[in-house]
Structure 1
Amino acid sequence: MDLTEPLRPTSLHEEVAARLRTMVFERQLQPGEWIDEMALVEQWHISRTPLREALKVLAAEGLVTLVPRRGCQVAELSEDDAADLFPVMALLEGRCAYEATRKATAADIDELQTLHAALEDCAARGDTDGYYRHNHVFHSRVQALAANRWLDRTTGDLRRFIRLLRGRQLAWPGRMQASIAEHRALMQALVARDAAQAERLMHDHLMAQLQALKALRQREARSATPAEESDVHAR
């Protein structure tokens, strides 16, 4: 290998991987959905090689699953996955809030308040999709302000899996209003430079998301049961 050879610009498969990643996070590719490789090849006017290389990248990240002789399926978080993941994220994001509170400049706090204002606007309008998007930006910014590369790496790796849910817990009645109330309290702690309080509030905020998700899934399971029983009797 010639180490003096000029490096190439971003390869095609990396661009394809970025596009696929966005489709997964935006739920244009649904959890559990089988990816239609031929359709994407035709739509994007590419060969199957960069697509398959891109799918390998996403498989390594845990966003898709490669199934021999069947194809590629978008990853889906089970109830057990969520129950295991959220407490870990609560610890990590709590630590992010702690370190961000200690390290953020006055300008950084102003920026967080601006991001929080966007959340307030979405909550007031009942814009669940907008709230989810701005919430992701807010949490990512707190993570960045923690300025801890090890914490950032670990939190960033796991945040990908949280994004697979795309804020589903916001569909639980009253959850968005509860979430914005939690954010208000967090902002107060950040402004007051109370790092311990910010850590606790962020931790509890993540755990509240898990509880809402559990309640939502239980309601969906109860709703599905009668339909399934009717289908069985019909047979």
Structure 2
Amino acid sequence: MSIIKRRVLYEEVAEILARMIYESRLEPGQWIDEMKLCDELGISRTPLREALKVLASDGLVELVPRKGSYVKSISPEELDELFPIMALLEGYCTQLVAERATGSELRRLRHLHDCLEESAANGDLASYYEENIVFHDELKAVSGNEWLQRITLDLSRVIRLARQQQLKLQGRLLHSLEEHRNIITAIEAGDAAGANQAMQVHLINQYEALKAAILEDSEDEVD
């Protein structure tokens, strides 16, 4: 007999809240108004608070005693620590993909890359960003390493809090696309070392662009 796993309410609520955070409907540093969210989602405070605990364990929310919950804000110092680690892990992940990917998996990756090409050609930042997430998540899945996939997914949840900003930097979208071309070309050629290097370059360039975007935003606030 097969067992159907039913999702409990707080898991669904956690997914909704995570999407709200990634879409900046709940912004970094913002206090989370529990009563307002309960009314908006039509739920009681119990599943909401359980969902907030899940998001806190994922690094998306901070629980402050006697003050409530706040959307996690990533500091430049945390980015300094996170991105080099993510570059190494995703580089190795992409190396495994180049070594192991089947024909059908390669076609899937090529299709996802073509979607990135189309969004970039249309100047559609929102679609490019979402498709970029799908592409990177697919690489993790195709790598075939469950532990690597789990660790990189956990880290990417946190990095996503700030990652989208770097695409707003002048010229970054086209540079990102070119980096993706290098990645998919190396994967399709079975060039494991090249795929690893291309992904590491891509992540480090993201990191540098993100720092520049944050600096640009801070200068605009001063002006």
Distance 1:166 1:128 in 2: 12
In the TM superposition, residue 52 of structure 1 has moved relative to its aligned partner by 1.0
Which moved further from structure 2: 19-28 or 89-98?
19-28
Distance 1:147 1:128 in 2: 30
Partner residue in 2 for 1:125: 122
Partner residue in 1 for 2:84: 87
Distance 2:163 2:33 in 1: 22
Over 3 Å counting, the alpha-carbon distance change for 1:159 and 1:8 in structure 2 is closer
How many residues end up aligned between the 2 structures?
A: 221
In the TM superposition, residue 166 of structure 1 has moved relative to its aligned partner by 4.5
Partner residue in 2 for 1:214: 211
Q: Which amino acid aligns with 1:216?
A: A
In the TM superposition, 1:36-55 aligns within 5 A as 36-55=33-52
Q: Which amino acid aligns with 1:163?
A: R
Partner residue in 2 for 1:233: none
Partner residue in 1 for 2:150: 153
Over 3 Å counting, the alpha-carbon distance change for 1:178 and 1:7 in structure 2 is closer
Q: 2:67 aligns with which of 62, 70, 78?
A: 70
Deviations 1:121-148 (CA, angstroms, capped at 9, x unpaired): 1111111111100000001101111000
| Structure having the higher Rg | 1
* % identity of equivalent residues: 47
Structure 1 residue ranges without an equivalent (≥5) = 1-5, 227-235
RMSD: 1.5
In the TM superposition, residue 43 of structure 1 has moved relative to its aligned partner by 1.6
Partner residue in 2 for 1:23: 20
SS at match of 1:167: helix
Q: Which amino acid aligns with 1:139?
A: H
In 2, are the aligned partners of 1:27 and 1:166 still within 8 Å (CA)?
no
In the TM superposition, 1:97-116 aligns within 5 A as 97-116=94-113
In 1, are the aligned partners of 2:60 and 2:72 still within 8 Å (CA)?
yes
Distance 1:166 1:29 in 2: 15
Q: Which amino acid aligns with 2:169?
A: W
Distance 2:14 2:73 in 1: 18
In the TM superposition, residue 99 of structure 1 has moved relative to its aligned partner by 0.3
In the TM superposition, 1:155-170 aligns within 5 A as 155-170=152-167
In 2, are the aligned partners of 1:96 and 1:151 still within 8 Å (CA)?
yes
Which moved further from structure 2: 74-83 or 201-210?
74-83
Distance 2:73 2:185 in 1: 35
SS at match of 1:213: helix
Q: Which amino acid aligns with 1:78?
A: S
Partner residue in 2 for 1:231: none
Over 3 Å counting, the alpha-carbon distance change for 1:67 and 1:182 in structure 2 is same
Deviating 4+ runs (over 6 angstroms): none
Distance 1:95 1:24 in 2: 29
Which moved further from structure 2: 114-123 or 59-68?
59-68
